[in-house]
Amino acid sequence: MNYLGYSLEPGRFETKSLEKYLNVTEQIVDVETLLNMAKDSSDEPIIIIASDLPRYRDIFDQSSRKIILIHLSDEAYDVRRCDLYLHPQLSLIVRNNEVFPFTFLLKHATKWLYWVLKWAISYWIKEQSFAKNLGTVKHILLSRRYLLRQMRMVLLLQKTKAQVISFPLNETNFYIDGQTDEVVPQSILVSFAGTTHSDERSIASQTAKELGYSHGYSGEWGPGGKGSLSPQAYVRLLKQSQFALCPNGHVNQDCFRFYEIICAGSLPIIPKSTPYQPFGYYQAIYDVDPRLVVTTFHVEEVKKQIDAIPVNDREQILNRLRISVAQKNEKAKIAISKYFSQHV
């Protein structure tokens, strides 16, 4: 069955991947139109596809209908922007990232001072670099900051009366639009394509340039972005790559790039821990081979990890990753389908 979802925000990257879970057609409307629909006396829930939740506050507050919220958001850490999760009219929350168990978060968050001191001292001695050491402390403090926000999010979700279903971020519309049936040889050992707005991404770009190919740039990512590859060129680059560097995204645990690399048949090299993906986010959720994990994207470590993976093992590692992602997708699809069959 096909459902109709309403949004105030055109042009987001995630909407096409929703087809993996739900046959929903997105219709862009203005605030007044959505308000009128929400005030309708219909017993059927209204489906809202949202990213920036504060824009929908009046609609939630004035709605006389139950609301199914599909929350596609890069702000999932920010509890203040997600307080509408507690709204009495909300019956279902479908979120685009996983939330770690509270006990897991608590275990690590309470050790923040110990780890700050330990890592700071070890880096200070090893690197003898004041600048690098400050960067390390900043990284650790940011990790704890987002970890505490994540703990608050877990508590928030425990308080809501709505059912909560999480699903993997999957590929962007940008990637899906660039897909073709073209078969290309994997002639590039390591690649990176994306903005270089952070130190981590700048290092990844430089490493890919030394080991394979890099398309790092400082402009906007995506369609029409200054310096961005076209969708077709981006997909082709990933298909040509044996490995692709996968730094974290923008203030989100989950990252489109991780899924796009796997979809293209390449292997993602992922960071062990970042401020936005603390304590092995992907390793906790998927069947990630430890040889795909690095502490930094410096060329020496990336090359060491790649050299540790025999060519004959790569297809098996990729298949395990694809299976674990597919299982996560299927689990979300079953949960969403069950809810819709019972309530819509």
At 319 the pLDDT is 97
Q: Cα angle at 231 between 228 and 232, to 5 degrees?
A: 120
Single-letter residue type at 36: N
Closest CA to 279 of 75, 105, 73: 105
At 282 the pLDDT is 85
Q: Are 13 and 36 in contact (CB under 8 A)?
A: no
Identify the helix (H) or strand (E) that includes residue 92: strand 90-95
- Provide the 8-state DSSP code for 163: E
Token pair, residue 45, equals 């829930």
Q: What are phi and psi of 291, to 5 degrees?
A: -75, -10
Q: Are 227 and 244 in contact (CB under 8 A)?
A: no
At 200 the pLDDT is 84
Closest CA to 207 of 297, 306, 304, 269: 297
Q: Are 240 and 185 in contact (CB under 8 A)?
A: yes
CA distances to 94, 98, 163, 182, 317 from 336, in Å: 8, 15, 10, 33, 29
Q: Are 108 and 279 in contact (CB under 8 A)?
A: yes
What's this model's pTM, rounded to 2 decimal places? 0.85
Number of H helices, E strands in the chain: 12, 11
Q: Are 142 and 73 in contact (CB under 8 A)?
A: no
In whole angstroms, how large is the CA radius of gyration of the chain?
A: 21
At 285 the pLDDT is 86
Note down pLDDT in tens along the chain; length 344 residues: 789 999 998 766 667 778 888 888 889 999 999 999 999 888 899 999 988 888 899 999 999 999 999 988 655 456 667 889 999 999 999 988 777 666 656 666 565 555 566 665 655 555 555 555 555 566 666 666 666 777 777 788 889 999 999 888 888 888 888 998 889 999 999 999 988 877 888 999 999 999 999 998 877 666 666 778 889 999 999 999 999 999 877 666 778 899 999 999 999 999 886 655 656 778 888 999 999 999 889 999 999 999 999 999 999 999 999 999 999 999 999 999 999 989 88
